[in-house]
Structure 1
Amino acid sequence: MSIPNAFDTLTSGLSSICRLPKGTTVLRSESSDITLLRLYDIENSVECRPVRERITELDLDVGLVVPSAVGGSSFRDGTIPSGVVPSLVVAEGGNGEETTLFGTEEIISFFDARFPVPKRDDDDDVFSSKILPPLLSAGNAIASALRFGRGRDVSPSSVEAPRPKNPLVLYSYEGNQFCRLVREVLTELDLPYRLVSSGKGSRKRADLAARTGGSSQCPYLVDEDNGIEMAESADIVRYLYKTYGRYVPPNKLLGVISRFIMVPLGGPIFRATAPLQAGKSLWGESEDPSIYEADVAKAKEEILRETSADDIVIYTYKLSPFSSEATELLRNLEVPFKEISFGNEWIPGLLADGCAAKRAALLEMTGMSSLPHIFIRGKSIGGIYSGSPGLLKAVEKGTFMDMVAEFKNTKDEVTV
């Protein structure tokens, strides 16, 4: 799911390593009459990352970070200055006159002019001046690749979801892998937030420790609307989806694998092997075809009985990440369901006794033998990413709960 796991922590950590020493330590912390009002930003953008790194290093806060991914509210409303991301709106001097800076180069040049950082003794050596810059440039691209599918697009989960009246407040710094996991979701849920930079050496860390009773751990989220304050990236992400999303989206990488590998390549294999595993010969006959036909007929009766007994039934494999994503999505939707396992996987030796015939029966009944497979009161809706309409597509369109209500007190006949 989109709740951070060990793999997310690993890849986010590697993303931070790719950009070391950028975005972790405060290099200059003097007060200034310059205020960063709004930053139009996309978390997993190679253009936006250097800007956020410099904000951490200069210990600057941002009044409002505005997620600006395609499909988001700022993109739809045309509020992104000249459509350029990143863009930064700043106020200078006592009169608070606003200036808008467009693009990475202009923003970084502004920072260099207004917030000069003392040069270190090794800044002019060959490694720092000639070798490190191209390494960091390559590292920027690798950092985005490591977090493929996260923090760049607006999730359908955010559509028609509640919005906070007051901006969320996030204590964060760019190079922290756990902060990144939270910022990705803020982009995906299209949630503007006030950024309190809290890099290593930041004076804001003392403020955070005073607020929390001693801890300066980042990330730290403040939701003034609901009186909520919390640390721990997984807890924050779970809270954001529950409060400002319609559901917790499944893993996007698995969706890509399903679309481009499992459905076009795996689907024919699953359909071809299901009857064979159930006892049908390669040539369409067996020594006793009646045995195969009887096994499949019995399996169909069992499927009809199982799928009609509960409102929602899902057939799964224990070792399948697609199955675990589907069951987790159902749990996050808070709907009761019955899970029936076909064993560890479809491979011979891992399939549970009697389930080869059930795979063949599913194929004849629905045209699909792959799992997970979800039924609502006996009617197939397919798997998590595929089928008619498929679990995720129904959830994204907002029709899943309607389907549950529609079939709750009826039993649709499954064509055999």
Structure 2
Amino acid sequence: MVHHQIKVVQALASSITAGGRGATGTAFPNQPEKAIKLYEFEGSPFCRRVREVMTLLNLDYEVYPCPKGGVKYRKIVKEKGGKKQFPFFVDENTGTEMYESKAIIDYLFQHYGKSGTTPKKYTHYPKYPVVALAGTLINGARGVWINQKIVDRAAPEKLLKLWGFEASPYTRVVRGVLTELEIPFVFHNVAKERWQDQGPAVLRLKPGQYVPLQGGKREKVIEVMSRFKKDIQVPYLEDPNTGAKLFESEDIVKYLQQKYG
């Protein structure tokens, strides 16, 4: 077993390869009434592109992990769209179902962005996602294949809830385990909304007690965590099936492996 802190360092290096994408986002997202659903897997560079934009738009969405060898949600994608290709995106607010990361990104900006158009830096992607693929390899290809020990295990009755953001290395480690265990979850994005939010809590550019942007999404999120923390800390996991509420990626990973592994 690779030590947890080594996994975190690998996840951090993987995030750095993306050049900062997936860390910051709008404080005032245009969250749809019905939850967006994303069928994907953590180690896919094409899925990563979509997750980065979801963080930029600071949208919450449901994740249905589809690792290679998965038996639960890959077949649903085949039934819905006709092929096992990922990511597969479902928006019940508009009746939209689609493949292709670039098409999904354009759709997200059109329907949930502020201007309705895709920013220039997101209009062109290389045909082969070499940089994102490098990030997957640096991260030890975690979140690519199913954990073979849980193939016949039923999914939890209720969706787990995970707070984090795409580029968070600690969150990336947890998402990798959720993918490998085929555990569906609601991902609550907690994007960094301004320069004062940058950096880990102990190294944040603006010292002192953390004060979220008034009226922003982080202000609402900190209310969820305030029973346990006086600051924003991710990842944070809630499991409505057991009542478990956990911070610290290592504790969350241990919980997931013991409960669902």
Greater helix share, 1 or 2? 1
Q: Which runs of 5+ in 2 are unaligned?
A: 194-215
Alpha-carbon distance change, 34 to 162 in structure 1, aligned in 2, over 3 angstroms: closer
Q: Which one of the candidate residues 210, 230, 238 is aligned to 2:254?
A: 238
- Tell me if the contact between 2:238 and 2:244 (Cα under 8 Å) persists in the aligned partners: yes
Residue 92 of structure 2 aligns to a residue whose secondary structure is: strand
Q: Is the 8 A contact 1:37 1:91 kept in 2?
A: yes
Do the aligned partners of 1:67 and 1:187 also contact (CA within 8 Å) in 2? yes
Where do residues 189-228 of structure 1 align in structure 2 (5 Å cutoff)?
Answer: 189-201=181-193, 203-204=217-218, 205-228=221-244
Give a deviation string over 1:106-129, Cα, whole Å, max 9, x none: 1001012123356xxxx88xxx79
Would you say how many aligned residue pairs link Structure 1 and Structure 2?
A: 231
Structure 1 residues 58 and 35, CA, compared in 2 at 3 Å: closer, same or farther?
Answer: farther
Partner of 2:87: 86
CA distance in 2, matches of 1:30, 1:190: 28
Please list, as runs of the form range in 1=range in 2, the aligned pairs for 1:14-25 lying within 5 A after superposition: 14-25=13-24
Within 1, Cα distance between the matches of 2:80 and 2:169?
Answer: 27
Q: Distance in 2 between matches of 1:56 and 1:192?
A: 18
User: 8 Å contact 1:14–1:143 — kept in the other structure?
Assistant: yes
- Deviation of 1:33 after TM superposition, in Å, equals 4.1
C-alpha contact (below 8 Å) 2:46/2:129 kept by paired residues: no
Percent identity between the two aligned chains: 27
8 A contact 2:26–2:191 mirrored in 1: no
Q: Given the superposition, is the C-alpha separation of residues 76 and 233 from structure 1 closer, same or farther in structure 2, using an over 3 Å criterion? A: same
Q: State the 1:80 CA deviation.
A: 5.7
Question: For the structure 1 residues 34 and 103, does the alpha-carbon distance in structure 2 shift closer, same or farther, using more than 3 Å as the test?
Answer: farther
Distance in 1 (alpha carbons) for counterparts of 2:7 and 2:31: 37
Deviation at residue 211 of structure 1 after TM alignment: 4.5
Aligned counterpart in structure 2 of residue 98 of structure 1, from 95, 102, 127: 95
Which residue matches 2:105? 108
Q: What is the alpha-carbon distance in structure 1 between the residues aligned to residue 91 and residue 125 of structure 2? A: 27
Q: Following TM superposition, by how much is the alpha carbon of 1:71 offset from its aligned partner in structure 2, in angstroms?
A: 2.1
Separation in 2, partners of 1:206, 1:87: 31
CA distance in 2, matches of 1:80, 1:210: 40
**Where do 4+ consecutive residues of structure 1 move more than 6 Å?**
none
Report if aligned partners of 1:28, 1:57 keep a CA contact under 8 Å in 2.
no
| Cα distance in 1 between the residues matched to 2:65 and 2:226 | 29
Displacement after TM superposition at 1:70 (Å): 2.5
SS of residue matched to 1:38: strand
Alignment of 1:145-294 (within 5 A): 145-161=137-153, 163-201=155-193, 203-204=217-218, 205-245=221-261
- 1:348-400 deviation digits (Å, cap 9, x = unpaired): xxxxxxxxxxxxxxxxxxxxxxxxxxxxxxxxxxxxxxxxxxxxxxxxxxxxx
**Separation in 2 of the partners of 1:198 and 1:45?**
22
What is the TM-score when the length of structure 2 is the normalising length? 0.78
The 2-side partners of 1:242 and 1:32 are apart by: 34
| Deviations 1:115-153 (CA, angstroms, capped at 9, x unpaired) | 3356xxxx88xxx79xx966x954312101102331000
CA separation of 1:165/1:115 partners in 2, compared to 1, >3 Å: closer, same or farther?
closer
Post-superposition shift, 1:203? Answer: 0.7
Q: How does 1:63-78 map to 2 (within 5 A)?
A: 64-72=62-70, 73-76=72-75, 78=78
Q: What letter matches 2:250 in structure 1?
A: A
CA distance in 1, matches of 2:242, 2:170: 23
Q: 1:31 to 1:117 in 2, by over 3 A?
A: closer
**What pairs with 1:2-81 in structure 2 (closer than 5 Å)?**
4-27=3-26, 29-33=28-32, 35-62=34-61, 64-72=62-70, 73-76=72-75, 78-79=78-79, 81=81
Quick one: structure 1 residues 30 and 188, their matched pair in 2 at CA, closer, same or farther if it must change by over 3 Å? closer
Structure 1, unaligned runs of 5 or more: 246-416
CA RMSD of aligned residues (A): 2.8
CA contact (8 A) 2:89 2:98 kept: yes
Q: Cα distance 1:149–1:116, how it changes in 2: closer, same or farther (>3 A)? A: closer
User: Structure 1-normalised TM-score?
Assistant: 0.51
User: Any idea what the Cα deviations from partners look like across 1:45-86, whole Å, max 9, x if unmatched?
Assistant: 011001001111101111x20011232111245456332210
Q: Distance in 2 between matches of 1:22 and 1:244?
A: 31
Contact in 2 for aligned 1:80/1:87 (Cα 8 Å): no
Could you say what secondary structure the match of 2:97 adopts?
strand
**Worse-matched range after superposition: 80-89 or 174-183:** 80-89
**Preserved CA contact (<8 Å) 2:30 2:59:** no
* Rg comparison, structure with higher value: 1
